[in-house]
Every structure is written in C-alpha cells, then in structure tokens.
Structure 1
Amino acid sequence: MNHPLPHSDVLKHIVDVHCHPTDSEITEEHMRELEITICAMATRQDDQELVADLASKYPDKVIPCFGFHPWFTHWICTLTGPPPPKEEHYRYVLREQLKSEQHEKDFNRLLDYLPDPIALDDCLANLRQNLYKFPQAMVGEVGMDRSARIPFDYRVEKRELSKFVVPFDHQIEILEAQLHVAVELKRNVSLHSVKSPKPTADLLERMRLEHGALWSEINLDLHSCGLSPELWRIIERKHSNVFLSLSTAINTRSLNHLKLIEAVSPTRLLVESDIHQVWQTTSRCWEMLSIIGETKGWKVENNWEIEGVEEPFGVVRRIDANWALFARGIHVSRTID
C-alpha cells in the first residue's frame, strides 16, 4: 500500500528508532534531504567509530547507538585476560559444534575470514567511552538471536552461511554485560530478539530482579520484534519500561503483525525502518506509521495543524509523545485513549 509523504512539518516529528546508515555510503545530499531524526545503530568493532563520526557531523539528525550485535559476538572473548590466539579462541567458542570431519573443514575455511578476537573488557570500555562522549546516545544494537548462522564473509552482499551458529549462551553473556553498562550509565537500549521469545521474557525478568529500581530508570525497545500478541501483553503488563518498535522491513513479513499492533498499548509503540539506506528511512517509517494509524483507527496527519479542539490525536502525535516518554528514560505512567 502506497502512502504519500506528508508535509515537512509532520516529518520533523518522526524518529526512526532503529536503522543502520553506516552500512551504506552516505552522501551530504542524503543527509541534507533527511527530514526525520534517525537512531543509528553500531553492531561490531569496526562501525562504532563510523556511528560516532556520523553523529558528530549531524548532531541534529542522528542519535548514536553503540553496542555489539549478537551476530558478531563470536568475535568477542569472554575469558579473563588477553584473548588467546585466533584459532584457539574460535575453537573454544564453537567447541560444541566441531563434531565431524566436515565441520573441521568448514571451520578451517571459516577461520580465514574471521578477525582476531577482542576482549569483552575492551568492548565494554569502548562502549563506555562512546556513551560518555554522547550524552544522548543509546546502547544498541544488542540482543539475542537463535538463528544467527555465521557467514564466511560478512562483508559481501550475498553472504554464504557456514554450518556454525553463534552459541546462544555466549550471546547472552555479552548481552548482559552490555545491559549492565546501560543500567550503570542510565542509557536506553535497542534490543534485538529473533526466535527467542521465552529467553527474552526471562532476560527482562532477570534484569528487573538483579537491578531493582535502577532497571526502571532505563527503557528498552524491542526492535522489529515478532513476539506473539499474547507474550507481548504479558511483557507489557510486567515491565513498564519496555517499548515495541515496528518496521515494514521485518514485521510486515508476518501475517500476525496487525494483531500485534492491536495488542500493544497506545503508549508503548515506536516506529523504525531497520534499513541501511538512509535515503529510504523516511518513506519506510511513514509507511509503518500509516499502517499503525489505520490499524488503531487513528488519524494519519498530512500536516501538523490541529483542525479543532475535538480532533483526536493522530498517529504521528501519539508516536512522537511515545518517543519523548521513551527518551526520558525513567518511566512515567501515561495513557492516551
């Protein structure tokens, strides 16, 4: 369904809460024409600085987000002390999957593409450094993914996947370490969760119990998350600091996405593009906003002018208010019928 873009006075109130602009070439023209605000995600060792540079250059349009994505957590060594040699590290991380001669052959081929391991302590130091540098920055993209197959060469567009997956326990250990930093520095989080509904619910409860009141001083966005409406209702009821952002890139692939929209409280919804082409972020977010508005029965604003006192809040005003609530960190109960 095509939804023509609204006037620029509407677009300037839209925040794309999750995208990956540094994964594509960005021109000054692209950024000059960008009329929305974007939250730019870092995912691995070599793009933290790229996100920082983009936010420094365009502080009025880019909110930087720093962290290590579950797809790349096998690069990280969680052992105490300096990382061991490359082969030793990856053999340790993938030890439970090296079960046959074919796995050994694949491992030896994969090893040529893998970077030297980095220490978790160094990753966390880098995360803290970037968060201190950018007071408005979030932690992201971090998370968990049960389908995280390891590609031979992640840098190519058409990635050939190996037989190996990033061990789930390893992902969780690195995720929790980054969440501890988020709590420590009171920063909101963009959380990746794929094929992990119960582990996600368990993680949220574990963090709530471990950090107590400090946990409620940050907010988490489950980005493009395909939870069932039933599980989302449980999470929403138990965790007042958890929001849900939706994208056409991911969520509309599921026939269940409209039921999920219906299930989410009006004050917990956010929108995102989850793409790397910065020049498409506006249209992707607008498409998702339009779908949410139509599903919830909310007006889809074409301009920012309020036509009358009795006019109900439109979808952009509602999501804009949700972003303001999310960005503040400490959750405050709020309802718009």
Structure 2
Amino acid sequence: MSIAQDLSQNVDAFPWDLGVYDAHCHPTDTMASIANIPAMKATALTIMATRGEDQELVQQTTESLNGDKEVIREDRIVPAFGWHPWFSHQILDDTQSDTPQQRDAHYTAVLTPSPSEDSEFIKRLPQPKLLSTLIAETRDRLQQFPNALVGEVGLDKSFRLPGAWTQADLDNRDEEITPGSREGRRLSPYKVKIDHQRLVLKAQLQLAGEMQRAVSVHSVQSHGAVFEVLKELWKGHERVVLSRREREKLQDAEGALSDDEDEDEDAQENHQTTNNKSKLLNTQPPLPFPPRICMHSYSGPIEPIRQFLHKSNPSDVYFSFSAIINFSGLSARKVSDVIKALPAERILIESDLHTAGPQMDQLLEDAARQISEVRGWALREGVQQLAENWRRFVFG
C-alpha cells in the first residue's frame, strides 16, 4: 500500500449527505462549466452577479437548473443579483440634480485620479447605466425569485481599473469566459472614488431592505467604511440592549403584573390579531436595511467583528471563508483567530470560484475541514453546523 493510500484511509470520509452549501461563487463567469453543476456533490450554490454582462446569465442558470419546482428549499441554485464595486464606475447616479449626466463628465467625476474628458481611457469605457435603472431591474429579478439575494455588492479601496484592451489581449482572449472582467489586462492608475462606491452600495442595501433579502458583501480595506454605511441605514432601528440590572427590574415588573393577566388577555388578543392582519396585508413599512448580511471571504482582523456583531445591530451579520483566499499563505493564521472568535452560528463556507465542477466541490470540502479543525468540531458536527447556518442566512 502506498503512503498516499494509507493517509487517505486515515482521513474521515466527508459527509456530503448532511448538505454542503456554497455561500458565494461565480460559475456564470465560465458558462461552459454550468453543465457540471448537476453532477456536483454540493447541495446548493449561491451564485453571484457582479456586472452588466452576468445579471441575465445568473437568471438563466437559475431557471434552467431549478425548473419549476414548488419546494424552493430544494433548489440547486440560489441566485444573487447586484453590482460589484469593481464596476461601480459604470453606474451613473441620476437621483441628484447636481450629478454630471454626460458620459465623459460622469467618468471624470467618479474616477481618481481624474482623467481628462477627452482621454483615450475614458473613450474606451462603456456607456454608464443609470442607478435608477439598475435598482428597477434588480427589484424585478428579486420579485421573480423569492429567495434571491442581493450580491455581490460592497466597497473596495485597493482595486484599480484594468487598462484598455490591446490587440494582443484580444487575440489571446478565452472565448469561454464571460466578458466584462479583467482577464489578465494590466491595471490602470484609476480607482473608483469611495464616495461613489458608497452611493451605489447604499442604494442596493436599501433595496435589499425593501425586499427583505439577504446580502453578500465584498469588502477590501473597507470594513470600517462598510460598517459606517450600515450604521446610517440602521439609525433609529437599533435593537434595545438591556443591562443585567435593567433585565432584573423588568422581570420584577412582569411578576408584579402577572395578577392582571386575565384582565388584559382580551386586549392582548385583539392587539395580536391587528398585528397579524398588518402582516398579511403587508402594511408594515419597508425597512431601509437588509435583515441578513454576509461579509464574504472575510480577511479583516478581529476588531471589526465586534462592531458587526453588536447586539444592538438590527441586521444579523455572517462571515464566510474560502480555501483560496482565507486558508493560504500568511492569511491562514489570522483567519484562524477570527474563526475562533466568531459565534458558531455565524460562520459560512464558500468557494468564490469562477468554474463549477469538481474543483468547486473540493474547495468547499477543504474550507469545511479547516473550519471544523480550527473550531475543534468533529467533522460531521461541523458540516451540520455550516449547513444550518447557510439555511438560516438565506431563508431567515
């Protein structure tokens, strides 16, 4: 028997039977790989849209693989529709009168350093999409798919736009890759101003609040900035957090009022009936923030986690981890400390991969094994916990 065979026999068989869920992936970036999904071991994939070229592809993939099943929780695909910060310069804000409405003036205003309006770089950029159009189209897609997420959205302070296509780039382009991404091009000096990224992110988060959908958030060197946007949306809706002394006083007061319960029973029943009618009639005002948020492939330190998980926050915040980004190189040790500090019920796994198939399955297995080891979970216990977390994140 070889050493490799001997080692493989000592590794616990992976419990795919418990359900394994990818919280964030991009297989529509390589459409040829979509045919591999039915044979995958993973139970369900949460597929992200990022830009103009893939919104429709995510929708088509969901429709083709899910069919018309009535039981939505058995769906193979959970779609997510949204506009990534890397492409946020392509969105023109038409909600404010002082925003530049002309194409070239728009790009000059939202990019830094500011290119001249007649620069070759600007001439090669696409016609921007109106923010109102983006929100309307995304709302329509969310209405078509009751469990769809908003994503991938977020902020990124480090990303630089790719340079213009050269003839060599075009000659060597892989036709199987969905257009719109970097595809190996050299990076330009231009970034999208963070204020513009915030504007696009905030509009999409408000839509997620209106539709009460979960959100998958991209954040690179921007955890504080993302939190500030959320804080703006949470303002006035914070959960009440009582101190121990306040909780004890409340319990004493409830005990003192218990003798009056019979007298108040009819009033409480009438109040509950009114609340139920409001819910059925959907007369509750929409909230301006999403109910659940996933910080995808979280690579930040422990400190911001305490802010995101504060008991007063009205959104439940999850953190997902991928083998490619989080468990390689120098980041592996930092992420172990983060995973240990998180509540067990707020951890998710993802592949963040652009190709569906066996590699995606393997990355999910690797992430689940790594997290289970860090947390000290037996493998079946860990996979079960991660499955329950994903269901709660997506379905509430």
- TM-score where L is the length of structure 1: 0.84
Q: Is 1:33 aligned to 2:39, yes or no? A: yes
d(CA) in 2 for partners of 1:5, 1:171: 44
Q: Cα deviation per residue 1:115-142 (whole Å; 9 max; x = unaligned)? A: 1011000000111010001111000000
User: Does the CA-based 8 Å contact 1:233-1:264 persist in structure 2?
Assistant: no
Indicate whether 1:127 and 2:143 are aligned.
no
**Structure 1 residue matching 2:379: 3-state secondary structure:** coil
Retained in 2: the 8 A contact 1:233–1:263?
Answer: no
Whether contact under 8 Å (2:319, 2:346) holds in the other structure is yes
Give the Cα–Cα distance (whole angstroms) in 2 for the partners of residues 216 and 176 of structure 1: 9
- Larger Cα Rg: Structure 1 or Structure 2? 2
Asked whether 1:24 is paired with 2:30, we answer yes
Write the distance in 1 (CA, Å) between the matches of 2:186 and 2:12: 37
Match of 2:323, SS?
coil
Gaps of 5+ in 2: 1-6, 67-74, 165-179, 240-286
Of 37-46 and 85-94, deviating more is 85-94
Candidates 134, 140, 146, aligned match of 2:157? 146
User: Does the alignment pair 1:294 with 2:373?
Assistant: yes
| Alignment equivalent of 2:217, drawn from 182, 187, 191 | 191
Q: CA RMSD in A?
A: 2.5
- What is the SS of the residue equivalent to 1:46? coil
> Within 5 A, what are the aligned runs for 1:156-175?
156-175=182-201
Given that 1:216 and 1:241 are in contact with CA atoms closer than 8 Å, whether structure 2 keeps it comes out as no
Q: Using the TM superposition, give the Cα deviation of residue 173 of structure 1 relative to its aligned residue in structure 2, in angstroms.
A: 0.5
Partner of 2:344: 266
Q: CA deviation at 1:235?
A: 1.9
Determine the structure 2 residue equivalent to 1:232. 305
Higher mean displacement: 270-279 or 207-216: 207-216
Which range moves more in the overlay, 112-121 or 288-297? 112-121
> CA 1:49–1:5 in structure 2 vs 1: closer, same or farther (change >3 Å)?
farther
Name the aligned partner's letter for residue 322 of structure 1. Answer: N
Amino-acid identity (%): 34
Residue of structure 2 in register with 1:251 after alignment: 326
Unaligned ranges ≥5, structure 1: 302-313, 330-337
Q: Distance in 2 between matches of 1:322 and 1:51?
A: 23
| Corresponding residue number in structure 1 for 2:176 | none
Q: Whose helix fraction is larger, Structure 1's or Structure 2's?
A: 2
Question: Structure 1 runs of 4+ off > 6 angstroms?
Answer: 1-5
Distance 2:108 2:100 in 1: 13
Which residue does the alignment assign to 1:75? 90
Alpha-carbon separation, structure 2, partners of 1:118 and 1:104 = 20
Task: State the shift of 1:201 in Å.
Answer: 2.3
Partner of 1:87: 104
Q: Deviations over 1:54-113 (max 9, x none)?
A: 00011221110000000001001003489844322212222x523xxxx549x8232243
Structure 1 residues 178 and 315, CA, compared in 2 at 3 Å: closer, same or farther? same
Partner residue in 1 for 2:177: none
The residue identity in structure 2 corresponding to 1:70 is P
2-structure distance, mates of 1:74, 1:278: 29
